[in-house]
Structures are given as structure tokens and as C-alpha cells.
């Protein structure tokens, strides 16, 4: 099996190509930093089995951020048979910069100019042969959307594998001063057998730049790097020369169409406007929520009626008895209580996916960066946090793209406060019962509180754990793209599927367990669930929750959706029973408790693996429980005064 590595800047379409080639269904987003670790897939082409590796997007082959380390480490140590550098047809410069770096480091490199469909629409002509001539590589034009050029790409890959041809990238020379120094170092490297697996020229260039890893390698053989001051100058000169070369090649290889104010610029002018930016951000959020609730609720009602009918029907054919109760109240009631919210959850993903796909997210990050900066975070961690509205697990995982350890850890620790879609059913249920007609406002305010809470937590953690240093925000604003229906569906389905899987596994199992606990030795006040709830009930007495609510919270720790399943089983018909058990402010306090209290099992697990160890996972659990309790207590106390 031969391996092919896909390398390139973020957001140029590597993952899209990877999907188009391997048939994998990896979600691609119109913002940088989605592929956080490498992904592999295979494709058999003309009888040859090819393994494709999709690497995180990077701008240079330094070894500073985790993304850069993953990609560079892979190219350096795993020796892929072919390296495909992917660049964006509409903006090749930064990609070609990376191409030069890769060419200096490895053999068997080829270039793919992707999104050629968009270039064509803009009447942008690119001369393939000029690129081939000046960079000494095979060049293929592709579109991951229309599939154009993919077969040619595969053929070229085979070609490179068979011929093992070594391209020479000879035209390109640095300034004489640099070339002289490169020569000096190359001569010294020549004598060291152990370094023969590296390209001499690459080692020499990296030594001049004082690349920490290379300096260490060469240090072992007494080859000295220049001083820091010199290295800074060299690094600037090297980068400058590369861009000069790229500019000169592109002047020959590209026709530049007459520039007019593009739609993208016009949109940006409004969306990232100095004064309108923040109101627009809030409006977008509100629209997303109103879509999730107002538009999707009729569908939920439909499913709700479906499950009630199913339950009734089962009762008539199965008669009464404990098996019927298990099936109707436990399984159908428990799982159905969660499934009712499928339309809302899919609606929320659709809204989020749309914002991601068009390219709004980085703009939102840009607009509110000043606020994030105050929290010693950056727009980058904001993007991770936004993912948490879907599910906290991918939010925590996506922090791998954050270069700064401290920012990364804080983002991981605060992300459970971002209220995920699994908590939504609780809000919708309780808001529907206690705040009829005002659901959207109540739920929107919970979401806003969740953001505020996340912000406060970030500040506190920064103060307590670290002497907070601001982190840089160097971020690319991608062009706006109309989302493809396919990609949008992929987005919704990938996430929604996870929710359905949970319904079939952890939620189903929890429902059955809760039914047994709730019905043995006898239903109601003498059940095991009651015993369990009553152990903890005293702790929650100041909040005004009864033991059933406490039980729901306990089981909800496994997966937050289980809170509503438990309600369904414990109360039978929560809509009728609950108003006689608690007051509206207690319901509100409960919603806030659910919003803030401990991360679910899956999230605890990723926090442990991403933050490194039980220490932070335990911290996260205890911290969020304390916060949730405090907030809920405040609401209960204030509510008692007002009502």
C-alpha cells in the first residue's frame, strides 16, 4: 500500500478532496482549523491501493502549534510516498509558500490547485505549464465540488509512485548571503552519516532560521546555528525571497481579472461593521434560536402525538402488567421523551451549520474578539466554544488547534458551560410548561447566561490558575460561500446521528435502569429511585426540588437528555403534574442547574484525555457542580422573595 499525504493551508479544500477521493464523509467547514488530527482513508485506483492522509492545515512548517507539529512530524518521519500540496485557485500565494517549504524538505511532491470551479466563474485564468515549469512539480486543477480533475490527480499520483521521479526545483535561489551560509552548513552536514535521511538543504535552511528541533539535531554533531538576531534577519530574508519568487511566477501564470467590489466585500462591510457588527451577531444568534424553536416545534408536537398514540396502542394490545409498564413507560416514554426533540436539535444544527458554512463564524469571532481579549482568550477559542452549542465533545476536541497551552486548557475547562443540544429538551419541556408563549425569550436568556457564565469562568480561571497573558489572534477570514446542500446535510446528519445513536444506546439503557429503580420494590415513594433521590434530597432542599427532580439530575449526568426521560417516567405526564410540584421560579432555577452542572460522561472522558489526566476532569466536575448549585440557589432565593 502506498501513502499519499494531503498538505495545505487551512480551508483550501483538503478534507473535501479527501472525501471526494476516498468516499469518506468527513465534515468540512468554511473556517480554518476543523481537521485537528490526521484522518486516513483508502482508495484503490487502477489496481493500486492508496492510503490518503488528510493533515491539519498550516501556513508554515515550523513546529510551534500542535497543527504544525502533527503535519511536519508526519512529513518528516512517516515518509509518505507522495505529498500533495493543495492550494486555493483564488488565492495561491500562501499555498505556494508552503509548497516551497515542502519542496525543500521532501521529494515526490505535487501541486493541486483546487476550487477551480470558482476560479472559472470569476474568469481567472491560471497557466498550468508556467506553474509546472517554475516549481518543477506536476500540477493538477481540481474541484472537490464538481469532481473535476480528481481522476487526473489519481493518475498523476500513480505516475509519481511508479517513476519515482525526482523533480528539481533549481530555478529558485535565495539571496547570495543566504546561499553562502546554506553552503557552509551543507558541507558540514555532508560528513555526518546519521543525517542522510534528511535533505541537507532543508536542514541548512532551518538551521539558519534557528528552528528549535533542527538546532537540537545539528547541535548533537556540533554544527552551530546563527545567533538569534542573525536568525531573525535570515528568516525575514528567506520568507521575503520566497514571496518575491511566487509573485514573479504568478505574474506570468495568472491573468488578473478587473477588480470590482465583490459581493463578499459588500457583505463584510455590513457584517463586520464597526457599529453594526455586534447587533448583527446577536440578531443572528436570535434568529438561529427562533428557527430552532418556533419553526421546528410543530414537528416536535407531531412526534409527541405519535409516541403517545404508540404507547396507547401498546397498552391496548399488551394489557396491563409490569412488562407493559416497562415497554410503555420505560422504553417508549423514556426514549420517546428525548426523541420528541429531534426536530429542534436538527434545526439547531442546521442553523449552526449554515453559519459555519457561509463563513460567518470567523467574522463573529472577529467582531467579538475585543470582548474575548478581555477574558484573555481569543476569537479562536470562541470558535471552539461555539461548537459546544451542538455538543461539548467536539468543542473540547477542536481546542487542539489552539497553539497556546494556557488558552487551550481554559477553553477546555469552560466549554462544558456552553449549553449543548442535549440540555435543550429540558429547557423546552419546562419553558413550555411554565412560561407558555415566552419560550423563545426564556430559552434565549438561558443561552445568553450560559455565554456570560463561560466568560466569567474564563476570567476567574485565568486569574486563579495563571497569570493571564493575552494570546494572539491571527486568523484568516475565508470568502463567503453558498453552502452546498450536501455538505449542510452532512453537517446536520453527522451530529444529529450522534444524538440518535445516544437515544438507542445510553439513553435507552438509562431509561430501562431508571424504570426498574422507579418500580422496585414498588412504584413511587418506596422505590429504589426514591431511596437514591432521598439521600441527596436534603442537599437540594434549599432549592426546592423534590426527590424525583434530584433523581433526574443524577441520571442526567450520564447524558443530559436523560433528565427529560426521567421526568417522563417519574411524573407520567409532566405537563399536568409539575405545576403542582414546583413553582415557575423553581423551574427556572432547575433549568439553570441543568445548564451549568457537571459535564456528561462523554465530555468528562474527552476532558480527561485532552487536558491530560483526571486532575482537570475532576476539577471540572466539582467546579461546575459548585457553580450550578450557587446559581440555582440564587434564583430560588430571589424567586421566593418576588413570588
Partner 1 sequence: MKLSEAAVGTKVKIVSVNFQPDLQGRILGLGFVPGTIVEVVREAPFGDPRVYTVHGKMITLRNSEADLIEVQPVERSFPLSMAEVGKRYVVKAFLGGPFFMSRVKSMGLYIGSLIEVRSKFPITALVDGRIIRIGMGMAEKIMVEEI
Ligand X SMILES: Nc1nc2c(ncn2[C@@H]2O[C@H](COP(=O)(O)OP(=O)(O)O)[C@@H](O)[C@H]2O)c(=O)[nH]1
State which residue, 75 or 144, has the beta carbon closest to ligand X.
Answer: 144
Cis previous bond, 521, omega within 30: yes
Q: Which does 162 bind (CB under 5 to 8 A by kind): ligand X, Mg ion, partner 1, none?
A: none
Please, are residues 393 and 606 in contact by the beta-carbon 8 Å criterion? yes
Alpha carbon distance, N-terminus to C-terminus of the chain: 71
> What 3-state class would DSSP assign to 606?
helix
Return the residues of window 260-289 that contact partner 1 according to CB under 8 A. Answer: 268-269, 272, 274-275, 277-278
Q: Which helix (H) or strand (E) holds 84?
A: strand 82-88
State which residue, 9 or 426, has the beta carbon closest to ligand X.
Answer: 9
Return the residues of window 305-364 that contact ligand X according to CB under 6 A. Answer: 357
User: Per rule CB under 6 A, is residue 30 in the interface with ligand X?
Assistant: yes
User: Per rule CB under 8 A, is residue 251 in the interface with partner 1?
Assistant: no
Q: How far is the CB of 15 from ligand X (least distance, A)?
A: 3
Task: Tell which one of 24, 267, 327, 477 touches partner 1 (CB under 8 A).
Answer: 477
Q: How far is the CB of 101 from ligand X (least distance, A)?
A: 17
Return the residues of window 557-576 that contact ligand X according to CB under 6 A. Answer: none
Q: Which does 130 bind (CB under 5 to 8 A by kind): Mg ion, ligand X, partner 1, none?
A: none
Q: How far is the CB of 99 from ligand X (least distance, A)?
A: 14
Best CA proximity match to 514, nearest among 565, 441, 440? 565
Q: How far is the CB of 40 from ligand X (least distance, A)?
A: 14
State which residue, 21 or 63, has the beta carbon closest to partner 1.
Answer: 63
Q: What does each C-alpha distance from 162 to 108, 175, 362 come to in angstroms?
A: 11, 36, 42
**Locate cell 440578531: which residue?**
283
C-alpha of 395 from chain center: 5
State which residue, 35 or 568, has the beta carbon closest to Mg ion.
Answer: 35
Q: Which helix (H) or strand (E) holds 512?
A: helix 506-519
> What 3-state class would DSSP assign to 126?
strand
Q: Which does 611 bind (CB under 5 to 8 A by kind): Mg ion, partner 1, ligand X, none?
A: none
Q: How far is the CB of 31 from ligand X (least distance, A)?
A: 8
User: Per rule CB under 6 A, is residue 5 in the interface with ligand X?
Assistant: no
Return the residues of window 99-158 that contact partner 1 according to CB under 8 A. Answer: none
User: Per rule CB under 5 A, is residue 15 in the interface with Mg ion?
Assistant: yes
Task: Tell which one of 241, 481, 534, 608 touches ligand X (CB under 6 A).
Answer: 481
> What phi and psi values does residue 451 have, to the nearest 5 degrees?
-70, -45
Q: How far is the CB of 37 from ligand X (least distance, A)?
A: 13
**Read out DSSP for 187-234?**
HHHHT-GGGTTS-HHHHHHHHHTT-HHHHHHHHTTTPPPPPHHHHHHH
Please, are residues 83 and 8 in contact by the beta-carbon 8 Å criterion? no
Return the residues of window 67-96 that contact partner 1 according to CB under 8 A. Answer: 68, 90-94
**Listed ranges 131-139, 242-250, 336-344, 623-631: which one lies at the site for partner 1 (CB under 8 A):** 242-250
Q: Which does 115 bind (CB under 5 to 8 A by kind): ligand X, partner 1, Mg ion, none?
A: ligand X
Q: How far is the CB of 38 from Mg ion (least distance, A)?
A: 10
Count residues near partner 1 (CB under 8 A): 46
Best CA proximity match to 135, nearest among 112, 92, 167? 167
Q: Which three three-digit cell numbers place residue 99?
A: 509548497
State which residue, 36 or 554, has the beta carbon closest to Mg ion.
Answer: 36
Dist. CA 599–CA 605, nearest whole Å:
9
Return the residues of window 97-136 that contact ligand X according to CB under 6 A. Answer: 114-115, 117-118
Q: Which residues contact 462 (CB under 8 A, 6 or more apart)?
A: 375, 376, 410, 468
User: Per rule CB under 5 A, is residue 487 in the interface with Mg ion?
Assistant: no
Helical pair 263-271 and 277-290, crossing angle rounded to 10 deg: 90
Q: Which residues contact 97 (CB under 8 A, 6 or more apart)?
A: 59, 60, 239, 242, 243, 246
Q: What does each C-alpha distance from 48 to 45, 51, 78, 155, 162 come to in angstroms?
A: 5, 10, 20, 11, 11
Quick note: the x/- pattern for ligand X over 57-96, rule CB under 6 A, is x---------------------------------------
Please, are residues 104 and 178 in contact by the beta-carbon 8 Å criterion? no
Q: How far is the CB of 144 from partner 1 (least distance, A)?
A: 20
Q: How far is the CB of 54 from ligand X (least distance, A)?
A: 7
- DSSP H stretches of helix in 521-613: 528-540, 547-556, 562-571, 574-581, 584-596, 601-611
The residue ranges that bind Mg ion (CB under 5 A) are 14-15, 35
The residue ranges that bind partner 1 (CB under 8 A) are 59-60, 62, 64-65, 68, 90-94, 97-98, 209-210, 228, 231-232, 235-236, 239-240, 242-244, 268-269, 272, 274-275, 277-278, 362, 366-367, 369-370, 373, 379, 470, 472-477
The residue ranges that bind ligand X (CB under 6 A) are 8, 10-16, 28-30, 34-35, 57, 114-115, 117-118, 143-145, 357, 481, 487
Amino acid at each position: 500500500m502506498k501513502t499519499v499525504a494531503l498538505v495545505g493551508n487551512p480551508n483550501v479544500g483538503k478534507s473535501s478532496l479527501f472525501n471526494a477521493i476516498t468516499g469518506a464523509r468527513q465534515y468540512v467547514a468554511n473556517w480554518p482549523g476543523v481537521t485537528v488530527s490526521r484522518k486516513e482513508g483508502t482508495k484503490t485506483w487502477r489496481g493500486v491501493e492508496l492510503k490518503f492522509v488528510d493533515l491539519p492545515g498550516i501556513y508554515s512548517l515550523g513546529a510551534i502549534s500542535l497543527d504544525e507539529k502533527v503535519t511536519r512530524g508526519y512529513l518528516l518521519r512517516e515518509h509518505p510516498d507522495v505529498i500533495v500540496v493543495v492550494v486555493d485557485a483564488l488565492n495561491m500565494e500562501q499555498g505556494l509558500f508552503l509548497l516551497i517549504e515542502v519542496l525543500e524538505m521532501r521529494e515526490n511532491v505535487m501541486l493541486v490547485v483546487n476550487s477551480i470551479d470558482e476560479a472559472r466563474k470569476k474568469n481567472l485564468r491560471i497557466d498550468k505549464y508556467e506553474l509546472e515549469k517554475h516549481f518543477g512539480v506536476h500540477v493538477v486543477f481540481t474541484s472537490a465540488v464538481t469532481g473535476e480533475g480528481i481522476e487526473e490527480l489519481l493518475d498523476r499520483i500513480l505516475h509519481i509512485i511508479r517513476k519515482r521521479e525526482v523533480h528539481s526545483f533549481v530555478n529558485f535561489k535565495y539571496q547570495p548571503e543566504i546561499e553562502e551560509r546554506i553552503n557552509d552548513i551543507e558541507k558540514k552536514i555532508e560528513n555526518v552519516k546519521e543525517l542522510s535521511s534528511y535533505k541537507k538543504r532543508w536542514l541548512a535552511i532551518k538551521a539558519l532560521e534557528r528552528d528549535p528541533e533542527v538546532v537540537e539535531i545539528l547541535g548533537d554533531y556540533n554544527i552551530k546555528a546563527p545567533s538569534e538576531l542573525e536568525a531573525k534577519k535570515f528568516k525575514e530574508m528567506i520568507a521575503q525571497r520566497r514571496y518575491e519568487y511566487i509573485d514573479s511566477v504568478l505574474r506570468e501564470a495568472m491573468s488578473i481579472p478587473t477588480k470590482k467590489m465583490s459581493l463578499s466585500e459588500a457583505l463584510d462591510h455590513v457584517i463586520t461593521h464597526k457599529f453594526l457588527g455586534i447587533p448583527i451577531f446577536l440578531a443572528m444568534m436570535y434568529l438561529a434560536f427562533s428557527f430552532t424553536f418556533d419553526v421546528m416545534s410543530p414537528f416536535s408536537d407531531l412526534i409527541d402525538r405519535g409516541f403517545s398514540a404508540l404507547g396507547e396502542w401498546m397498552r391496548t394490545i399488551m394489557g396491563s402488567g409490569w412488562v407493559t409498564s416497562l415497554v410503555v413507560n420505560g422504553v417508549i416514554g423514556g426514549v420517546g421523551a428525548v426523541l420528541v426533540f429531534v426536530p429542534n436539535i436538527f434545526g439547531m444544527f442546521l442553523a449552526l451549520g449554515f453559519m459555519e458554512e457561509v463563513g460567518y463564524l470567523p467574522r463573529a469571532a472577529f467582531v467579538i474578539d475585543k470582548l474575548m481579549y478581555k477574558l484573555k482568550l481569543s476569537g479562536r477559542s470562541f470558535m471552539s466554544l461555539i461548537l459546544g452549542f451542538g455538543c461539548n465533545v467536539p468543542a473540547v476536541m477542536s481546542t487542539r488547534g489552539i497553539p497556546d497551552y494556557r488558552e487551550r486548557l481554559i477553553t477546555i475547562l469552560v466549554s462544558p458551560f456552553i449549553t449543548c443540544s442535549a440540555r435543550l429538551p429540558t429547557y423546552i419541556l419546562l419553558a413550555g410548561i411554565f412560561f407558555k408563549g415566552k419560550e423563545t425569550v426564556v430559552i434565549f436568556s438561558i443561552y445568553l447566561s450560559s455565554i456570560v457564565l463561560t466568560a466569567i469562568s474564563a476570567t476567574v480561571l485565568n486569574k486563579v490558575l495563571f497569570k493571564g497573558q493575552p494570546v494572539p489572534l491571527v486568523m484568516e477570514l475565508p470568502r463567503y460561500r453558498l453552502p452546498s446542500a450536501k455538505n449542510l446535510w452532512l453537517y446536520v446528519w453527522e451530529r444529529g446521528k450522534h444524538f440518535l445513536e445516544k437515544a438507542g444506546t445510553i439513553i435507552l439503557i438509562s431509561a430501562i435502569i431508571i424504570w426498574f429503580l422507579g418500580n422496585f420494590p414498588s412504584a413511587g415513594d418506596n422505590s429504589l429511585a426514591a431511596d437514591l433521590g432521598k439521600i441527596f434530597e436534603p442537599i437540594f432542599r434549599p432549592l426546592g426540588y423534590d426527590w424525583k427532580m434530584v433523581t433526574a439530575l443524577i441520571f442526567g449526568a450520564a447524558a443530559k437528555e436523560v433528565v427529560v426521560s426521567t421526568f417522563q417516567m417519574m411524573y407520567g405526564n409532566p405537563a399536568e403534574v409539575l405545576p403542582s410540584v414546583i413553582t415557575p421560579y423553581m423551574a427556572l432555577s432547575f433549568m439553570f442547574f441543568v445548564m451549568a452542572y457537571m459535564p456528561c460522561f462523554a465530555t468528562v472522558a474527552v476532558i480527561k484525555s485532552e487536558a491530560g489526566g483526571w486532575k482537570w476532569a475532576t476539577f471540572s466536575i466539582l467546579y461546575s457542580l459548585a457553580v450550578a448549585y450557587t446559581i440555582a440557589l440564587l434564583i430560588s432565593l430571589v424567586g421566593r422573595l418576588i413570588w
